[in-house]
Amino acid sequence: MTHQDKVDINPNTQTEIFPIVGIGASAGGLNAFTQLLKALPIDTGMAFVLVQHLDPKHVSLLPDLIRRTTAMPVIEISDGLRVEPNHIYLEFHAFFMSR
């Protein structure tokens, strides 16, 4: 998905479109994630997908650490999850998010 892609979150009614911002980091990227999220207002109108490179067998503390950083809802991605603005989504494995 590119920075220009927008998501229709409610196809049966008036369409709301918003940007989805993807942010990736290596295993040591927690500091960069937290600095960014502390600087963002909670009502940007954007959805943020944070992707961190980790060993799939590693248990991540990222969800709890990010939840302490921002007042935006922090959601762990699952298959078919609907994306909403003003939310943080955390990706650990290969999942598909829907519009």
Residue 7 lies inside a defined structural domain of this protein: no
Q: Which two tokens stand for residue 6?
A: 């927008």
Residue 33 lies inside a defined structural domain of this protein: yes
Residue 87 lies inside a defined structural domain of this protein: yes
Residue 35 lies inside a defined structural domain of this protein: yes
Tell me the DSSP string of 12-63: TSS----BEEEEEE-TTTHHHHHHHHHHS-TT-S-EEEEEE---TTSPP-HH
pTM of the entire structure?
0.75
Look at residue 99 and tell me whether its pLDDT is greater than 60. Answer: no
Structural domain tally of the chain?
1
Residue 5 lies inside a defined structural domain of this protein: no
Q: What is the CATH number of the domain that holds 28?
A: 3.40.50.180
Q: What range defines the domain where residue 26 resides? A: 20-98
- pLDDT per position as a tens digit, 68-81: 999 999 998 888 88
- pLDDT per position as a tens digit, 14-57: 567 999 999 998 878 889 999 999 999 999 999 999 988 776 67
Among candidates 55, 46, 52, 43, which has minimal Cα distance to 76?
52
CA distance 79 to 32: 27
Residue 31 lies inside a defined structural domain of this protein: yes
